[in-house]
Amino acid sequence: MWLLLPKGVKGMLQLKGIYKIFHEGTPDEKIALQNINLTLQKGDFVTIIGSNGAGKSTLMNLISGVLFPDEGTISINGQDVTMMPEYVRSRYIGRVFQDPMAGTAPNMTIEENLAMAYARRQKRTLRRGVTKKRRDDFREALSTLHLGLENRLQTKVGLLSGGERQALSLLMATFTEPDILLLDEHTAALDPARAELVTHLTKEIVARYQLTTLMVTHHMQQAIDLGNRLIMMDKGQIILEVDEHEKKSLTVEKLLAEFRRIRGEQLASDRAVLS
């Protein structure tokens, strides 16, 4: 059986020599990731940019256990989790998906959704999911979103707007203070105003809980503004790593120039937002 990790002082994520190949040995063979090495110290907030098909989502899926690598190891908090099933691993990994519909259960109420997120920390039992005490906690947590959701605890989540749902997803993914937070273009499906709101909330929440975070974005300026480190991926590889110090003086122009220097071509992303 898989054991729960002790909540260590130095929570971190380590990827060593990761390879992921889809449809290996067929004409459709696709090397999605090759030789990925990445270490996140506790409290690191790393933004990831890269062209379409660079392997960013695949990387996220490997870390969360949706997919397993063909080679290499993944460890969280010093424990090897490479082959640990998704449902065990997700006790200490919070995730927000690109699709606002993906992170919540539409036919269940806001408080029920929060109760499910709350229950991720321990084994689920026959205790009542939404108790009076928890409801108060939920209300308090929701009020930090400033969307008035704390007054709509019994509303079905399917009735919320995309932005509201994504904000709720973010809260659900984070309020149990996971060891690692994975955000895969979680603002990409929202209109600019809503995206701005969710980005702002992300910044606030990550800072509040000091979460070790990995965030994929196509928005270059956002990638520069948020977090303390940045990596750029292309064709399954990490082609550029920007550390905390260098990141302070980073600009979109510098990033693009860097990409041209490394690859000798334009950044091939039809969705890259330059400003």
Partner 1 sequence: MLTAITGAIESGIIYAIMALGVYLSFRILDFPDLTVDGSFVTGAAVAATLIVSGVHPLVATCLALFVGFIAGCMTGLLHTMGKINSLLSGILMMIALYSINLRIMGRSNVPLLNQETIFTNVQEWGTKIGLEPAVAKTWGILLSMTLLVLLFKWFTDWFLQTEIGLAIRATGDNPRMIRSFSANTNLLIVLGLGLSNAMVAFSGALIAQYGAFADVGMGIGMIIIGLASVIIGEAIFGTKTIARATFAVIGGAIIYRIVVSLALRAQFLETGDVKLITACIVILALVVPQMVRHQREKKYKEEKRRERAQAFVAAAAERGEGDVAVKRNL
Ligand X SMILES: Nc1ncnc2c1ncn2[C@@H]1O[C@H](COP(=O)(O)OP(=O)(O)OP(=O)(O)O)[C@@H](O)[C@H]1O
Tokens of 5: 């990790």
| One of 18, 46, 48, 57 touching Mg ion (CB under 5 A) | 57
Residue nearer to ligand X on the CB measure, 51 or 109: 51
In the complex, minimum distance from the CB of residue 259 to ligand X, in angstroms, rounded to a whole number: 15
Q: In what order do the strands lie in the sheet with 45-50?
A: 93-96, 180-184, 212-216, 45-50, 229-234, 237-242
Piece of the chain touching ligand X by CB under 6 A; list 47-55, 107-115, 165-173, 193-201: 47-55
Regarding 215 and contact with ligand X (CB under 6 A), the answer is no
Binding to partner 1 (CB under 8 A): which residues in 93-112? 93, 95, 97, 101-108, 112
| 167 CA to centre of own chain | 13
| Residue 106 phi, psi (nearest 5) | -65, -30
Nearer to partner 1, 88 or 252 (CB): 88
Residue whose CB is less far from ligand X, 154 or 266: 266
CB 46, min distance to ligand X, A: 15
Shortest approach of ligand X to residue 58 CB, angstroms?
3
User: Is residue 19 near ligand X by the rule CB under 6 A?
Assistant: no
Angle at 189 between CA 183 and CA 194, to 5 degrees: 90
- Which long-range contacts does 186-189 make (Cβ < 8 Å, 24+ apart)? 186/96, 186/97, 186/98, 186/215, 187/217, 187/219, 187/222, 188/98, 188/217, 188/218, 188/271, 189/98, 189/99, 189/100, 189/162
Find the part of the chain contacting ligand X (CB under 6 A) among 53-61, 134-142, 143-151, 238-246. Answer: 53-61
Q: Per CB under 5 A, which region of 54-62, 64-72, 128-136, 174-182 contacts Mg ion?
A: 54-62
Instruction: Point out which span in 15-23, 55-63, 130-138, 232-240 binds Mg ion (CB under 5 A).
Output: 55-63
Q: Is 47 in the site for Mg ion (CB under 5 A)?
A: no
Continuous segment of H or E residues that includes residue 232:
strand 229-234
Burial 235-272 (b: 16+ CB within 10 A, else e): bbbbbbebeeeebeebebeebeebbeeebeeebebeeb
Contacted by 268, from ligand X, partner 1, Mg ion, none: CB < 5 to 8 Å by type: none
Residues near 127 by Cβ (< 8 Å), separated by ≥ 6?
A: none
Binding residues vs partner 1 (CB under 8 A): 64, 85-91, 93, 95, 97, 101-108, 112, 115-117, 119-120, 124-130, 172-173
Binding residues vs ligand X (CB under 6 A): 22-23, 30, 32, 50, 52-58
